[in-house]
Each structure stands twice: as C-alpha cells, then as structure tokens.
Amino acid sequence: LDELEADVFGGGEVFYQPLKTYLKKNSMRELETLPDGIHSGLIKKSIRGIFFYYKYENDFHFWYLYDLDSRKFIKNKTEILQFISCKETEKRKIPDFFEEVYDINKIIQKDIEETYKNIESKEKTDTQQVFWSKEKSKKFLISLVKEIDHELEDYLLDFPEDNALEKEWDKTKEKLVGINLTKKRLQILRGIWKRYKNSPNWKKLIKDVTDFVSDKLVYEKEGLDDFDEKKLRLIVLDFIS
C-alpha cells in the first residue's frame, strides 16, 4: 500500500479501503504466491474493458483500464476500481481476442515511456527552479516557465488534440534547465520576457525561447536514469465484464 500511495495516478479512500479490507481477510502469504503476469477475466456475455498493471523497477506503478466501449484509457485508480468492482464469488474466464490485447499493450508501453520521461523532465525542471529562486538574476525565469505552463494548460483544455505545442515546450524547457546561463544569455532571455510582458503572445514566447536554446549545449544533471524497457514488467492483465 505504501508503494501504491507514491504512484503517479490518483487513488483515494474509495481505492484503499477495499484493499485494506482484503488484506485483513487474506494473508499476505496468499498474495505473494501470485506470479508476475497473472491474467484472468469475468464470465459474462461481453467484455467491457481490459486492465493492465505495470511495474517499473520498485519505483513506479502504472495502472491502465482500457474501456472497449469508449476506446479510451482510464488511469485514475478510483475510477478503475469503480469500473472493475465485483463480488468475490464472481467466476473468471479469459476471452479469445488476444490480438487486440497485444495492440493495446503496445500503446500502453509507449504511454508509460512518455509518462516516465515527463516525470524525469519535471524533476529536472523543479530542481533547477530551486536554484533559480536563490539567484536574483535568474528568478524571472521561474515566472517565464510558469506563465507558459499556465497558458498551455488552459489552451489544451480547449484543444486537447493539439499537443504539438506541448511537446515543443517540453523539449525547450528541458534544454532551458540544462544550459549554462551566462550573464549574456540571461540578458537575452530577460529581453524575450520583457517583450512578452509588453505584448503578450505566449505562442511567440515559446518560439522565442525555443529559438534561443536550439543551438545551446546541454549539461547533463543527475536525476532519474533514462527509461529502460527491460525494467518494465507486466504484473497483471485482467479482463473486465
């Protein structure tokens, strides 16, 4: 439970209470006998979803519920629990459509890799912003980054399919926190920020910062290791009726 609480997806009491109840009723020894890769499915006329649980080393737990009706993924643990809840006496059976399972699994693995890289990027950004906050000459960069993050977040609420800008900004932000910010470079960035405040255009701000960092050398900083698919294990595959 402690490991799951540190997960990147949401949970809540609705999620944890059934687990706590089950653990009181059944010994941990029984749970530990379950092999990695176990899979099962409820016996009903139709399958509504497919549940995947992946573990990356001992640090990250990824839960996905693929809704076969809406053809969309659910990642929030509370929503997944509500979707898959059933009585303990419910019989289980594996349906016969593994080709689609393989295709969905490929999408999930790609999403996990992107999620991991986003966590890695955010960790670097958050760490660097701590250093920026300690130097008066660099504090404006925190405002610059937050401004773009805020504007981009609002934009994606209205246009979620237009994620090209988000990907561009993620790459730019990662470079921004990794370059050596000399006095001259800070002057250029401060000028970009000043022009934006005089004539707000957040898309142009992204472009200006992107152009600025494009030819700069990035210094690697300690953080999460690069994503390694060999460290990713499928723990559970479950078919939900």
Give the domain range for residue 125.
116-213
Region of 12 please: left (phi>0), alpha (psi -120 to 50) or beta.
left
DSSP 148-161: HHHHHHHHHHH-TT
User: Domain check: are 7 and 81 in the same one?
Assistant: yes
Q: Which residues pair with 73 in a beta bridge?
A: 66
DSSP 81-100: HHHH---TT--B---S-HHH
List, for residues 184-197, the tens digit of each pLDDT value: 999 999 999 999 99
User: Domain check: are 86 and 178 in the same one?
Assistant: no
User: Domain check: are 159 and 69 in the same one?
Assistant: no
Helix (H) or strand (E) holding 55: strand 49-56
User: Domain check: are 108 and 124 in the same one?
Assistant: no
Buried/exposed 49-77: b ≥16 CB within 10 Å, e otherwise = bbbbbbbbeeebbbbbbbebeeeebbbbb
List, for residues 63-114, the tens digit of each pLDDT value: 999 988 888 999 988 888 888 877 777 666 556 666 778 888 889 999 988 8
Number of structural domains found in the chain: 2
pLDDT at 5 over 50: no
Distance (Å, whole) CA 141 – CA 186: 9
Helix (H) or strand (E) holding 129: helix 98-133
How high does pLDDT run on average in the chain? 79
User: Domain check: are 77 and 151 in the same one?
Assistant: no
Tokens of 189: 């960035």
Residue 220: the pLDDT is: 58
Q: Which of 29-38, 49-58, 151-160, 170-179 has the lowest mean pLDDT?
A: 29-38
User: Domain check: are 160 and 105 in the same one?
Assistant: no
Please check whether residue 222 lies inside any domain of the structure.
no
User: Domain check: are 123 and 64 in the same one?
Assistant: no
Please indicate, yes or no, whether the overall pTM of this predicted structure exceeds 0.75.
no
